[in-house]
Amino acid sequence: MLKYANPTNFLALAARLIPWLAGAAALALAVGLYLTFFVAPDDYQQGASVKIMYLHVPAAWLGMMCYMVMTSAALGTLVWRHPLADAAQKAAAPLGAAFTLVCLVTGSMWGKPMWGTWWVWDARLTSVLVLFLIYLGLIGLWQTIEEPAQAARAAAILTLVGVVNIPIIKFSVDWWNTLHQSASVFRLGGPTIAPSMLWPLLIMALGFTLLFFALHLMAIRNEILSRRLRRLSITAAAAEDPEVAGEAAL
Amino acid sequence: MSSPLLALFGRELRIARSVGGGGAMGVVFFLILVSLTPFAIGPDLNLLSRIGPAILWIAALLSTLLGLDRLFQADADDGSLDLFVMSSTPLELVVLTKCAAHWTLTALPLIAAAPLLGLTLGMEPAALAGVAASLLAGTPALTLLGAIGAGLTAGLRRGGLLMAVLILPLTTPVLIFGVASASAASGGTVPFHTPFLILCGLSLMAVAGAPFAAAAALRAREA
């Protein structure tokens, strides 16, 4: 395991894993979408619009899971000061923002026919919107601080502060009376959703998860390479200008 | 409170009072925000008195955060922040003291002004007291959460707007329970103390946790 903390070994591992992950993600998403549109039954009340669930729910899960991945990377940054953890943090933020945005947009499209409104300010919707805003803030922080290691530490602290929002999202439907329904898959006493709908949902969730890991590995690889490029260009500039050489040594 | 922290508290007050300190600017900004709202919404006093607590809370939130990006900036510029980091006094307590001084300078005048401005919005006496009480209980949380953002953005060239973007989402619970308790004071289905106690709890949590995050953010700038 420790062997892959070395960026070069990690790049080799990523190069081997990414095709498999991407292929598995494509397969799971293809099967999941087929099941969604041709096998899973329509809801007796909602009709075909229940199909939005197969995108909405996995996107919501991934939006939160991505934050937890980012939180563990943030611990890696603060405790071990490992550059790979910095790269994992930085790569996760735009992915999490994208999944959360998909969750918000599909939820809104589902809410219009079912609730009669695009948006309500209830606890679940608001806390997911706050999650999206935290992701945007983190991206802003990464873009503002020039020195990568310093940006990683600042982002790690903000990530750890913002993690309080995750249990709020999870339990918002239980703590407050919300228009959003409460949990029906991960709950005590087993899922309340029919197996004919549960299986396509779980396969879609698997596809989304594999997709996330494939994209995350690719983004980490890009981050490692762009850091090497940055270092090389500083060294190249230093060869021409002795003053820059002094700065690079610092 | 030991004497270095008392000295720091006094220093903050003196700096804010001196020329260039800009200590009163937050209250003036608060005043302007509140008096602009009726122009945007219209002079209907029934409507204004109903949404008065919300107007006052939004204005308080913005004017508290507006001044906060300067919390560590001047110290970072003249190097005294490095002395704080190196000194034997714990940085967490330094942060807490600076926040206390900042709160005294910006939030307290604002809380005093809020009932007067509430009168111009046609709010009932019970609602005025509710707003003042909820601001008193909630603004410490705003100042301390803002201190985390100020620590993260200290020394950055374009820190001001970024700090608001980072911290405003985190202030949502404070705003929700602040407005809820202010509204509950003027009648409603919820008793006043339910949201008010949660608001107090949020402030206490911020006092206990935020100085550590802000101090960690300040230390992360170095090394």
Give the tens place of pLDDT for each residue, B106-125. Answer: 888 889 989 988 888 888 88
- When pLDDT is cut at 50, 70 and 90, the band that residue A100 belongs to is very high
* Single-letter amino acid code for the residue at A157: I
Please tell me the distance from the alpha carbon of residue A198 to that of residue A66, in angstroms, as a whole number: 22
CB contact under 8 A, B170 and A145: no
**Nearest chain A residue (CA) to B156:** A145
Number of domains in chain B: 1
Q: Which domain holds residue B159?
A: 3-221
Number of C-beta neighbours around residue A161 at 10 A: 24
Which two three-digit tokens encode residue B182? 């202010």
- 3-state secondary structure at position B14: helix
What pLDDT does A53 receive? Answer: 87
CB contact under 8 A, A158 and B166: yes
What pLDDT does B208 receive? Answer: 94
Please tell me the distance from the alpha carbon of residue A95 to that of residue B170, in angstroms, as a whole number: 21
Mean predicted confidence (pLDDT) in A16-29: 93
Asked whether the beta carbons of A101 and A132 are under 8 A apart, the reply is yes
On whether any CB of chain B is under 8 Å from the CB of A75, the answer is no
Percent of all residues in chain B with a pLDDT value above 90, rounded to a whole number:
28
- When pLDDT is cut at 50, 70 and 90, the band that residue A230 belongs to is confident
Residue B146, Cα to own-chain centre: how many angstroms?
Answer: 7
Which chain B residues contact residue A157 at CB under 8 A? 148, 152, 213, 216-217, 220
Q: Per-residue pLDDT for B21 more than 80?
A: no
CB contact under 8 A, B162 and A140: yes
Q: What is the pLDDT of residues B178-188, one digit of tens each?
A: 988 888 887 77
Of B168, B169, B220, Cβ closest to residue A157: B220
CB contact under 8 A, B152 and A158: yes
Residue of A125, A93, A105 lying closest to A212 (CA atoms): A93
Write phi, then psi, for A236 (nearest 5 degrees). Answer: -65, -40
Q: What residues form DSSP beta bridges with B66? A: none
CB contact under 8 A, A134 and B213: no
Min Cα separation A116/chain B (Å)? 25
Mean predicted confidence (pLDDT) in A57-71: 94
Please tell me the distance from the alpha carbon of residue A230 to that of residue A232, in angstroms, as a whole number: 5
Q: Hunting for tokens 């960026």 — which residue is that?
A: A7
On whether any CB of chain B is under 8 Å from the CB of A177, the answer is no
Taking chain A, what is the end-to-end CA distance rounded to the nearest angstrom?
A: 32
What pLDDT does B220 receive? Answer: 83
On whether any CB of chain B is under 8 Å from the CB of A163, the answer is no
Asked whether the beta carbons of A152 and A86 are under 8 A apart, the reply is yes
Which two three-digit tokens encode residue A216? 């995350």
Min Cα separation B116/chain A (Å)? 30
What are the DSSP calls for B51-95, one per residue? Answer: HHHHHHHHHHHHHHHHHHTTTTHHHHHHSHHHHHHHSSS-HHHHH
Number of C-beta neighbours around residue B40 at 10 A: 7
Please tell me the distance from the alpha carbon of residue B141 to that of residue B161, in angstroms, as a whole number: 20
Mean predicted confidence (pLDDT) in A73-99: 92
CB contact under 8 A, A141 and B152: yes
Of A126, A133, A154, Cβ closest to residue B152: A154
- Read off the DSSP letter of residue B2: -
Please tell me the distance from the alpha carbon of residue A23 to that of residue A21, in angstroms, as a whole number: 5
Q: What is the mean pLDDT of chain A?
A: 86
Lowest mean pLDDT segment, chosen from A145-154, A221-230, A231-240, B18-27: B18-27
Mean predicted confidence (pLDDT) in B126-137: 91
Please tell me the distance from the alpha carbon of residue A82 to that of residue B2, in angstroms, as a whole number: 38
Residues 6+ apart with CB under 8 A from A88: A69, A70, A73, A76, A216, A220
Of B162, B169, B216, Cβ closest to residue A144: B162
Q: Per-residue pLDDT for A197 more than 90?
A: no
Chains A and B: how many Cβ contacts under 8 Å? 52
Interface ipTM:
0.78
Write phi, then psi, for A47 (nearest 5 degrees). Answer: 65, -145
Min Cα separation A239/chain B (Å)? 26
CB contact under 8 A, A144 and B170: no
- When pLDDT is cut at 50, 70 and 90, the band that residue B1 belongs to is low
Q: What is the pLDDT of residues A68-77, one digit of tens each?
A: 999 999 998 8
Of A126, A150, A154, Cβ closest to residue B172: A126
- When pLDDT is cut at 50, 70 and 90, the band that residue A1 belongs to is low
Q: Per-residue pLDDT for B80 more than 80?
A: yes
Residues 87-106 on A with a CB inside 8 Å of B are none
Residue of A85, A63, A216 lying closest to A153 (CA atoms): A85
Q: What is the mean pLDDT of chain B?
A: 86
What pLDDT does A62 receive? Answer: 93
What pLDDT does B121 receive? Answer: 86
Asked whether the beta carbons of A135 and A90 are under 8 A apart, the reply is no
What pLDDT does A65 receive? Answer: 94
Mean predicted confidence (pLDDT) in B84-101: 91
Lowest mean pLDDT segment, chosen from A42-51, A117-126, B134-143: A42-51
The structural domains of chain A, with segments of one domain joined by +, span 49-224
Q: Per-residue pLDDT for A209 more than 70?
A: yes
Q: Kindly give the interhelix angle for A83-115 and A53-75, rounded to the nearest 10 degrees.
A: 150
Please tell me the distance from the alpha carbon of residue A140 to that of residue A149, in angstroms, as a whole number: 16
Mean predicted confidence (pLDDT) in A221-238: 89
Number of C-beta neighbours around residue B13 at 10 A: 15
CB contact under 8 A, B213 and A144: no
- Position with higher pLDDT, A128 vs A195: A128
Q: Per-residue pLDDT for A245 more than 60?
A: no
What pLDDT does B138 receive? Answer: 93
Q: Per-residue pLDDT for B213 more than 80?
A: yes
Of A136, A144, A154, Cβ closest to residue B158: A144
Write phi, then psi, for A55 (nearest 5 degrees). Answer: -100, -40
Residue of A102, A175, A118 lying closest to B176 (CA atoms): A175
Please tell me the distance from the alpha carbon of residue B213 to that of residue B216, in angstroms, as a whole number: 5
Q: What is the pLDDT of residues A144-177, one digit of tens each?
A: 888 888 889 999 999 999 998 888 888 887 777 6
* Single-letter amino acid code for the residue at A31: V
Which chain A residues contact residue B170 at CB under 8 A? 130, 134, 161-162, 165
- When pLDDT is cut at 50, 70 and 90, the band that residue A234 belongs to is confident
- When pLDDT is cut at 50, 70 and 90, the band that residue A238 belongs to is confident
- Read off the DSSP letter of residue A49: G
Which chain B residues contact residue A175 at CB under 8 A? none
CB contact under 8 A, A145 and B156: yes
- Cα-based torsion angle of the residue sequence B182, B183, B187, B189 in order, rounded to the nearest 10 degrees: -120
Q: Per-residue pLDDT for A187 more than 80?
A: no
